[in-house]
Amino acid sequence: MQRCGSMTQDVPQGVSAEVNYDEARQVEVAVRLGKVRINSERAVGTEKKTDSSSLEAVKRKIVRRTKSVRAEGSSTFTLNCCGCCFKDEKAQTGNKHAE
C-alpha cells in the first residue's frame, strides 16, 4: 500500500491475504473474525528490526511503524491508516506532515 486510507478484507477459508506498506506507518488494525499477524519495525541503533505480533477477533490495536498485515483464511479485518499521521517520528518538523 503506497498511501494511507481504510480498507476491509474478507478472507475466505483456504486463502491468505497480505497487505504490505511501502513505508512503515501507524495503523489501526481491527479484527472482526479470525486472526491476523502484524509485522512492525523498530530501530535498534542504526539497524531496523522486525517484530511480529498477532491479533484475534474481536479486538483492535493501533500499531506504530506497521510494515505488513497477514491473514490466513476465515478472517475479516479492517486497516485504518491516517494520511495525516507521521510515517516516522523523526520526520516531524513544525506542522509539516511526512507523506
For the entire predicted model, the pTM comes to 0.78
Domain 6-81 has CATH 2.60.120.10: yes
Which residues does residue 76 pair with via DSSP β-bridges, in sequence order? Answer: 10, 33
**pLDDT by residue for the chain (99 residues), tens digit each?**
667 889 999 999 999 999 999 889 999 999 999 999 999 999 888 999 999 999 999 999 999 999 999 999 999 999 998 765 544 444 443 444 433
Q: What residue spans define the domains of the chain? A: 6-81
Closest C-alpha to 72, from 6, 1, 12, 9? 12
| Whole-angstrom distance, CA of residue 38 vs CA of residue 82 | 18
Task: Round the CA-based radius of gyration of the chain to a whole number and report it.
Answer: 14
